[in-house]
Structure 1
């Protein structure tokens, strides 16, 4: 699929490491990742492994990327927004290796996100990012639009949350509207919940 001259495709396991590294660069200064890993060097070291793990977790949903891997969006399908207890137990060691002493802050963010999920069925835009070196070329919008086109026949809304204020106008341009504003406890960042009505 090509959108606005940008080839977009579904990602597979062979893209795991490259997408994890790209998302780490995209989220290097994100308020949530900066809260979880306050130290810049520690954050740069741990984020690629974190995003590779999240790439694996979203295998049952939809993983969309530009052909060159400059941008990607990881989606969870209806009813898949929460991670099961079994999945958490299976991932316990990798999670500990990724977070170490930052696990408490990571859980504070994760629990706050879980607490603000809306009721009902929807597609959840779990993670979306564009390599800073490739921003401004429409690649981030292309991967999100491609996924939205793929789920258009489902009759379901799409949901996301963001802790980055400049993302609000970007997502509004894609049809999302703010539905809630909330703060992660214990000094965490401000988040916005956004929903896009079915098209």
Structure 2
């Protein structure tokens, strides 16, 4: 299994979107956003595409060489990191625009983005790991660990903290192994699962 990590670009967009659609379609948060299986099958890919485009626009994506795993990252600078529930780091009312692009009739798309934006720590500057996904058949092959190792080495080299929201107990345990700790209260989605905001200070 090749765990080499490389930086993805626009030519990798469709492969990354497809990977995240397969990897996260049964994630508790995805199931809450799209409760009906048939509707999720039709719309989930659009949600993944929106997050991929955000990362390509304002950050970067690391992948394993054959795009069997991906980590989306967005740098958050202290000067522009204040998020007030209307923004997600991508301009005013980004959650509403996300809903319009993904599933206009589904208020949970917008609500998810607002919950994440409201809980996001405003300071200090840090790298926001917005999403990580691994091909389902390879989820015990160390690919997520390879991506996190590479990304956190880069954060440490720049003296940057890292932040993420774990959407299931498996991803929470993985983050904890890499030094992430709970940062604030659990994020409870109305009538749905909880997410865990997690923070890691740079290793000096």
Provide TM-score, normalisation by structure 1: 0.87
1:135 and 2:132 aligned:
no
C-alpha separation between the residues in 1 aligned to 2:122 and 2:92? 20
Among candidates 59, 62, 81, match of residue 60 of structure 2: 62
User: In structure 2, what is the equivalent of residue 108 of structure 1?
Assistant: 111
Instruction: Report deviation, 1:62.
Output: 2.1
When the two chains are superposed, the root-mean-square deviation of aligned CA atoms in Å is 2.1
C-alpha separation between the residues in 2 aligned to 1:63 and 1:97? 21
Tell me the number of residue pairs that the alignment of Structure 1 and Structure 2 aligns.
Answer: 192
C-alpha separation between the residues in 1 aligned to 2:73 and 2:113? 16
1:193 and 2:197 aligned:
yes
Instruction: Report deviation, 1:6.
Output: 1.3
C-alpha separation between the residues in 2 aligned to 1:111 and 1:52? 18
Write the mapping of 1:1-199 to structure 2, written as runs, cut at 5 A.
6-59=3-56, 60-79=58-77, 82-85=89-92, 88=94, 92=97, 95-102=99-106, 104-120=107-123, 121-199=125-203
Structure 1: where are the runs of 5+ without partners? none
Could you tell me whether the CA contact under 8 Å between 2:73 and 2:127 is conserved in 1? yes
Deviations, residues 55-105 of structure 1 (Å, cap 9, x unaligned) = 11112212100011110000010236622028x49x94x742521322x11
Could you tell me whether the CA contact under 8 Å between 2:99 and 2:110 is conserved in 1? no
Provide TM-score, normalisation by structure 2: 0.85
Instruction: Report deviation, 1:130.
Output: 0.4
Structure 2: where are the runs of 5+ without partners? 82-87
